[in-house]
Amino acid sequence: MKRTAKILVLVLTMFLTINPGLAKADKCRQTPVEVTEVKELGLSDSDETKSVIEIKWCVNSALQPTHSAFNVTVEVTYADGAILLFDEQVPGRARSTRVEVPALHIYRGRKPAIIREIKAFVTAELVD
């Protein structure tokens, strides 16, 4: 019995590793909008003082069938403890966006602080 359970766990783990999209889809069944990925892509090509953050999300259409836009909020925490918020509105058909944020936080002559943590929140605007 123990061997069967171990094999089943191994097979399920391999299945989710090979097919990560299914794990993301299950997550969206519980909430109307769910952030699936937040990733720092590196420095911006147009402005090397900014980092590009990519945010991806999924939408549960059964819970929220009509939405006109998404509000994306990115919270960036720097090594010196500073927290900056960046807001962006994207069209209702979008499922990802990129936001440029300062790569370093500089405050009153202190040493520049790098990004320590990035959080993203996505909410949907409903159509009446």
User: For the chain, what are the domain ranges?
Assistant: 1-30, 32-126
> How far apart, in Å, are the Cα atoms of 121 and each of 6, 25, 127?
36, 18, 20
pLDDT tens, residue order, the chain (128 aa): 444 433 333 333 333 334 444 444 455 666 778 899 999 999 999 999 999 999 999 887 665 556 678 999 999 999 999 999 999 999 888 899 999 999 999 988 889 999 999 999 998 877 65
**Residue 54 in contact with residue 41, Cβ under 8 Å?**
yes
> 32-126, which class in CATH?
mainly beta
Give the pLDDT score at 86.
Answer: 96
62 CB-near residues (< 8 Å, 6+ apart): none
**Residue 45 in contact with residue 21, Cβ under 8 Å?**
no
Give the pLDDT score at 100.
Answer: 95
Q: How many CA within 13 A on the CB side of residue 125?
A: 12
pTM of whole model > 0.85? no
Give the pLDDT score at 128.
Answer: 55
